Amino acid sequence: QVQLVQSGGGLVQAGDSLNITCTASGFIDNGYNPGNLGWFRQSPGKERDFVAAIRWKDGLTRYADSVKGRFTISRDNADNTVYLQMRSLKPEDTAIYYCAAEVTWARPSQNENEYDVWGQGTQVTVSS
């Protein structure tokens, strides 16, 4: 099966930077051709929200307004890996971060229901 395995995360202070990684496996064996890879986050008691996404073929990116200018999404197609570089972190960024993949070849979707495969989640905690 296709799997997304995340790494990184942890506890940092406000203003710090942190990078998290999502590595996919099984794309070739399962005939999975990703259209977009995205990042979502969820805080306790709240819905899961879109953070950023990148189109696999050409690197077209899309960001939530709350992270524009602070977060950068990138990918390495050869390694089937997507990265999220987080800068100037705020306590409001505290959440479990999930990576996800969708097949659709279009503008990266902000809707979690469009994504087919999900990572296990990575905790990011930002202290004041």
Render pLDDT for 62-79 as a digit per residue (tens, 0 to 9). Answer: 999 999 999 999 999 889
What residues have CB less than 8 Å from 38, skipping those under 6 apart? 50, 51, 52, 53, 54, 99, 100, 101, 102, 108, 109, 115
Q: How many residues does the chain have?
A: 128
At 17-74, the pLDDT tens digits run 999 999 999 888 888 888 999 999 999 889 999 999 999 999 999 999 999 999 999 9
